[in-house]
Structure 1
Amino acid sequence: MSFTAARFDVNLSMLFTELPLLERPAAAAAAGFEAVELWWPWPDDPTPAATALDDLRTALESAGTRLVGLNFYAGQLPGPDRGAASVPGAESERFRANIEVAADFAASVGCTALNALYGNRIDGVDPADQDALALDNLVRAAAAAHRAGATLLIEALNAAESPRYPLVDAEAAVAAVRRVNEASGIGNARFLLDLYHLAAGGADLAAVIDRHIGRVGHVQIADFPGRGARGTGALRLTDLLDAAGYEGFVGLEHKPSPDGSAAGLGWSR
């Protein structure tokens, strides 16, 4: 098996960001992609007006692009935040308010993967209390995703860039997936395999893929070092996934080329 461009999707929160949000799906389509993914597009608003959601849906449909991955509300991305599921107080309330909004939007566009970032550790809060809050919120998210016909994704980030994020290796993220599946009884939580973050954390990528490929619900890639497009670093990204027989979508979640977003995507065709 080998990869084709149809297998890849473009993360519109990292690529084509020189354009307004509603123009990015068309730019991805012009670059040859039929599938896209997004972080939550309104970092200041977990419950945007229906018109904003309608406009995004129209932009996706007009461009002929399918949304294959969407984050639940995660705070300021890019920025200091790394999700809200485990963060007590107002952020947890925003996460809960967003759950049905994000799931309903995903269902309306046929998106079948919803990513919930765990959230940073907070000074003065017992980590066990944060983990209990996260479990409660992630079970709620799993139920909403299930109603929308979607998978709930949980990912590991790297400690160098996210030192307060507790899920910094595959084992920690997969353990969280297991806890959610056991608590929900649904079984729709899966591991988001982000090869850039795992490589930045020093993981043996081939070993991680071999050990956890059966639990993977989505893949994201960027080369390492640098978080650029494939070929700008040292990782054998597509070789590793081909060898494992992975057949899902692969999100291109990397920095744009210095010559523009489209210039760094030619290899995928």
Structure 2
Amino acid sequence: MGSTDHRFTVNLSILFTELPLLERPAAARAAGFTAVELWWPWVDAPVPEQSELDALRSALQDAGTQLTGLNFYAGQLPGPDRGALSVPGEESEKFRRNIDVAADFAQSLGCKALNALYGNRVEGVPEAEQDELALENLKLAARAADRIGATLLIEALNAAESPKCPIVSAPKAIEIVDKVNEATGLGNATFLMDLYHLAMNGEDLHRIIDEHTAKTGHVQIADNPGRGAPGTGELDFGDLLGRLKKAGYEGWIGLEYKPGDQPSASSFGWLPAPLRSA
């Protein structure tokens, strides 16, 4: 891919999933990475047992890996049933119970980015009501993130894989970012620029990078089509990452791709070993 000044972090919720959760940080470290990120690991437990939180914290620390990003509770990931904060009833209540738990866990590991996924549209409930609920929950999440000195990430998904998600474009995600910042006055809501989702939506990645990098708090990558490692699809990551650098992006690049049929550790051939460590 050529040289780059970017820092890379491995998403342990999509890579190294052939291993138990607590073994993944050490496997990432053995592959040369010192930084990792996670979706909320307990899909049925917004408030897991303290022993589970402690075990994961120890696994990350013992491996010598820095946690750079964490999702708030978002239900079942991956899949179309993702997101919780805008869903009336039990799911949004789970999200609220999770907010401080996730923020405290992130703080204990020095993690400075928390991702809050919008929920799918629910039939029989006015969209305006769902959006009002979402804004209230995003305000709570933004305040929790601010409490630990972190940014709140708002992500655009893609319409093909998440047809019921209302945030399936960069402009829509930016709109939500601006609404949250206006409502809280904190200014800590930012855009999570996932180049795979945006490419799946057919958006102009060059234009998005040029126009929205200033409001971007995190970037994630996977090739398109297929959501595989860079080089398995059609995206030119040398060009895209270079453009991000030129636009002033200095944050983490999250590797959120599927390794395919090979072991996850074999999927990093595109990234020279000296560039994997932060």
Same fold flag (TM > 0.5): yes
Q: With a CA cutoff of 8 Å and minimum separation of 6, indicate the structure with the bigger relative contact order.
A: 2
Structure 1 residues 97, 238: closer, same or farther in 2, change over 3 A? farther
* Structure 2 residues not aligned, in runs of 5+: 273-278
Tell me how far 1:258 sits from its aligned partner.
1.9
Matched ranges for 1:51-200 at <5 A: 51-200=51-200
TM-score normalized by structure 2? 0.94
Tell me how far 1:78 sits from its aligned partner.
1.9
Secondary structure, in 3 states, of the residue corresponding to 1:132? helix
| Equivalence for 1:243 | 243
Matched ranges for 1:21-36 at <5 A: 21-36=21-36
Partner Cα distance (2:7, 2:123) in 1: 41
Matched ranges for 1:224-235 at <5 A: 224-235=224-235
Partner Cα distance (1:238, 1:136) in 2: 39
Contact 1:257/1:263, CA 8 A, preserved across alignment: no
Tell me how far 1:46 sits from its aligned partner.
0.1
| Equivalence for 1:257 | 260
Tell me how far 1:2 sits from its aligned partner.
4.2
Please tell me the residue identity of whatever aligns with 1:181: N
TM-score normalized by structure 1? 0.97
Contact 2:206/2:243, CA 8 A, preserved across alignment: no
Partner Cα distance (1:189, 1:226) in 2: 30
Partner Cα distance (1:268, 1:52) in 2: 32
Question: Which stretches of structure 1, 4 residues or more, deviate above 4 A after TM superposition?
Answer: none
Tell me how far 1:260 sits from its aligned partner.
1.1
CA RMSD in angstroms comes to 1.2
Q: More displaced, 243-252 or 117-126?
A: 243-252
Task: Report the count of equivalent residues.
Answer: 268
Secondary structure, in 3 states, of the residue corresponding to 1:70? strand
Please tell me the residue identity of whatever aligns with 1:266: G
| Equivalence for 1:15 | 15
Cα deviation 1:170-205 (Å, max 9, x = unaligned)? 000000000000001101000000000000000010
Partner Cα distance (1:223, 1:194) in 2: 11
| Equivalence for 1:212 | 212
Cα deviation 1:91-135 (Å, max 9, x = unaligned)? 010000000000000000000000000010000110000000000
Contact 1:74/1:84, CA 8 A, preserved across alignment: yes
Contact 2:7/2:252, CA 8 A, preserved across alignment: yes
Please tell me the residue identity of whatever aligns with 1:3: T
